[in-house]
Structure formats: structure tokens, C-alpha cells
A and B are shown apart, each in its own frame.
Chain A
Amino acid sequence: MGSNDLKYEVSQNAYIKLVLHSLKHPTSAVNGVLIGRISSSNDTVEITDAVPLFHSQIPLLPQLEISLILIEEYFSTKGLNIVGYFHANERSDDFELGGVAKNIGDHICRYFPQAAILLLDNKKLEALKKSKSSSAIMQLYVRDASKNWKLVQSDANNRFSLKEPSANVILLDYISSEKWNDIVDFDDHLDDISK
């Protein structure tokens, strides 16, 4: 089975962390890595956790390298790998996967060939407050055979799903209680390592 048939499942923990991170820094682009594993039945990539990375100086290499090394260290002791990358663009109407995101995705693919990129869908985020949809507000990109990142249509095949369907409800709750202030990303850590 090639990566064309792999399903991707995001746990509530990872999902909420990533969205809250982007809400904490509404004026800049943010990114993060996805942590997880391939399921034992070999058909699903389970994204169990996420580490928010940066909200500034995203395109620069040194801090990315350090963060990936440290994260890989920390999670390999728990049997998990870096399985993907998350990106949220600076502008709310920007739905393209930028060059930087693609490069980072390619880099992660070298270590985990079935890696995916998740891009925050800002329109769905806005609509979330009004509708009670339970589908994820992100777009999934996977690499096809010609090494290009392609968008996976969110309705077809149910390839991208939230593990717990109530994730969006909890997310709304956290948004209204401004829980994003508790999110500490790698940028914050580098500025003050006690975080």
C-alpha cells in the first residue's frame, strides 16, 4: 500500500494545541511538528501529539534544526516519531502552501516517508464559531509519487479524520476561555528555557 492510501488521524490533543497556537499569535505565521506513529494495522498514521515551534523567524534554519533534534530525542524515548508538519499562514486569506512549508515537509519526509503537512484553513476556523461542524479545520497535504505536495480533498475517502469527533466543541470552549495563553512554543522556550 503506497502512501496514497494511508489515512491520517489527528488526536484531540494535537489538534487543539495547534489551533490554539495559531490563535495565540494572530499576526504572524506559526508552525509546529506532528508527532505520532503508524498504526499497527499499517494503514493509518496516528498523530497523537504536536509540538508548536515558532511564531517568528520561521524560514530560518538553525532553530529549526535544533528543535527537530531535541524533539526527536524526547519522543523517541516514548516510541513516537516526527510524522508531519503544521503550518498556519500569516494572512487569513492565504491558502497556499508556501515554499518554506514545502521544504520543511520534504526534510521531514526524508526521515518519515509518509509524512504529511497540515495547513490551517482560516475560513473554516471563522465558520466554526457559527456552524457546529465536526470536521477538522485544516487541510491535509501528502506527497505523491512525483514528490509534489498535493492537497487531499477533505470529503473524499475520509482520509483525514479527527480521532474524537467532539474535538471541535472542546476547541470552541478553549477559545472562549482564551486558553491559548497557556501554549508555550519553541520560540518561547529559546527565549526563556525554563518554559
Chain B
Amino acid sequence: MVTKTEESELKNLEIQVDNGGGGAWEYLSLVRKLKVRRSDKVLKHGLSILNDSKLRSKLGADEWTLYEQVAVAAMDCQCLDVAQDCTKALRKRFSESKRVGRLKAMLLEAKGSWEKAEKAYSSLLEDNPLDQIIHKRRVAMAKAQGNISGAIEWLNKYLEIFMADHDAWRELAEIYSSLQMYKQAAFCYEEVILAQPTVPLYHLAYADVLYTLGGLENVQTAKKYYASTIDLTGGKNTRALFGICLCTSAIAQLAKGKNKEDKEGSQLQSLAAKALERDYKQRAPDKLPQLTTALKSLTLSS
């Protein structure tokens, strides 16, 4: 997960390199550090460094890291011969390395030889049962083959060992959501919120899942999490503001007989609505009329 400053730094470097302004190595290092997926750019710029022997020798020992990065990017872009060449170069240098063994298995996976890749990964795991990347490749393979229940099983096993891997919890939550198993998805988000309570993204996703689950209690809790998202983002998160409006009208519909929450709920909703209108006025004035009508229809139905 990338912060806004990191994202803009990355974008600036990307534009600079794309337009021939140099700085390719800095860009590639930043991509590696942030673990973002920019495979076509990595492939293009990485290859331009590797194919130029002067630039390559300047890198020194980092050359091999670059080979690995380009190999993975090539596999993502389905340029398997490039990936094969990089892996060969690495194998020549580090013939007994587990990392190279992992690349070889990934190459099998990229080619679609699922069984061979599965065997390779299993044997690598026997020697090194705590290698996170290999575990994740297994889950990815199951998902790619359409074996969603297998992917869920592997991912659950992985999380039993590596409980602190938030990205894995998020992936599991997304898989559950796509299968409409919203309760399980909510559980995953609860785990990450416990671990990282100051990340607004998780609060937002949790609130979304709760709203989708439905039912008065869930929607009320969802409203609380939308509110905490707004708190954590200083009121700038459009989705959370919309979420509050939706929740309030849903609660009003679901709780037609009870009068307790009315005043407090409608205050929050009108605050959220005002904030949305202010935002749209400032940044997207041509969309304001639709927003106003939409908000009115939400308050009317409450």
C-alpha cells in the first residue's frame, strides 16, 4: 500500500524515464521498494539497462537484483523468452541458489505447466518451509486455475503461519467478497483493523462489507466505521461521506418503528451531505446538480 507522496514520486520518475530523462535505476529501485506492479515499464527500462553493457557494469552487484526484477516483470507481461534469458544468466552465476530455483518454478507457472510448477514449489517448500513468496505463488496458481476453494484453503493455511501479513488478509477478504461470503470477508477485515487500526482503507472496506451484509445492527456498525474513516482522513474521503448518507437512510428504513436514532442520525447525514456538496462545488461543479438530487432522494427515503 502506497502513500500519496510515494505515488506521486513514483509517477514523476516514471514520466521522467519515459521521456528519456534518465533515472531508470532510481525508478526501478523505487518500484522494488514499494512493491507496486508496473511490469510493462519495469520490463522496458530494465531491459534497456541490462542490454547496455556499460550501464550494466555500473550496477555492480545490483545487476543480479535487476535480473530478478526484470525476469518477474517479463513473466507478468508474458515475455517468457526474456524471463528465460534472465533466469539463465542468474543460474550461471548462482547455480545452487534457492532464489533462482524459485524463479525457475515461477517460469513453469507462467508457461502454464501447473503440475510441474506445483512439484517445484512443494520441493522448495520442503527445504524452506518459511518462504512466504512460495506460499503465495501456490495460492496464486490455485486462483489462476479457477480453483477458488483451493486458493482459500492455501491462503488460510498461510495465514495460520503468517498471521501478520495484512495483504494476505485483504486478498482473502476480496476472494470471500467475490464469492458473496460476506461474513467471512468481514472477519478478515476485523483482523487487519485490529492489527493496524489507523489505516482508513480497512475501516472503509469493513464498513462496505457490513453494509452489504445488511440488517439493522450491521448497518449501524457500518455507519460507525464510515465515521471513523472520515475521522482518520480528515473528512476528505468521498466514499465514506456517501456511505454515511446511504447508511442513515437504510437505518431509517429498517428501523421505522423506533424513534431513538432519528435526531442524531439525521444530523450526521446532513453534515455529510453538506461536506459532499461543498467538495463537489469546489472540484466538480458540473456534477453538482446530480449530486443534489441524489442526496435529496436519499434523505427523502429516510
Query: Any chain A CB within 8 A of the CB of B144?
Result: yes
- Told that A57-B174, A66-B242, A99-B180 touch, could you supply 18 new A-B pairs with CB distance under 8 A? A57-B177, A57-B205, A57-B208, A59-B177, A59-B212, A60-B205, A62-B208, A62-B239, A65-B246, A69-B297, A70-B290, A70-B291, A91-B143, A91-B146, A94-B146, A100-B178, A193-B238, A193-B287
Residues of B within 8 A of A93 (CB): 146
Q: Mark B230-247, 1 if CB is under 8 A from A, else 0.
A: 000000001100110010
CB distance B290 to A73 under 8 Å? yes
Query: Any chain B CB within 8 A of the CB of A170?
Result: no
**Given that A62-B208, A63-B239, A194-B283 are contacting pairs, would A69 and B294 also be in contact in the complex, using a CB cutoff of 8 Å?**
yes
Query: Any chain B CB within 8 A of the CB of A27?
Result: yes
Q: List 9 A-B contacts (CB under 8 A).
A: A59-B180, A60-B209, A62-B212, A63-B242, A66-B242, A70-B291, A73-B294, A94-B146, A190-B239
Number of interface residues of A (CB under 8 A): 27
Residues A60-118 near B (CB distance < 8 A): 60-63, 65-66, 69-70, 73-74, 91, 93-94, 98-100, 103
Residues of A within 8 A of B287 (CB): 70, 193
Query: Any chain B CB within 8 A of the CB of A58?
Result: yes
Q: Mark B152-192, 1 if CB is under 8 A from A, else 0.
A: 00000000000000000000001001111000000000000
List B residues at the A interface (Cβ < 8 Å).
Answer: 37, 143-144, 146, 174, 177-180, 205, 207-209, 211-212, 238-239, 242-243, 246, 279-280, 283-284, 287, 290-291, 293-294, 297-298
Top 3 nearest A-B pairs (CB, nearest first) are A61-B212, A60-B208, A194-B283
CB distance A60 to B238 under 8 Å? no
Interface residues of chain B: helix, strand, loop or mixed (majority): helix
Residues of A within 8 A of B293 (CB): 73
CA of A167 to CA of B294, assembled, Å: 34
Which B-chain residue is minimally distant from A92 (CB atoms)? B144
Residues of A within 8 A of B242 (CB): 62-63, 66, 190
Residues of A within 8 A of B297 (CB): 69
CA of A59 to CA of B174, assembled, Å: 9
CB distance B283 to A193 under 8 Å? yes
CA of A74 to CA of B246, assembled, Å: 19
Which A-chain residue is minimally distant from B276 (CB atoms)? A193
CB distance B284 to A194 under 8 Å? yes
CA of A100 to CA of B177, assembled, Å: 9
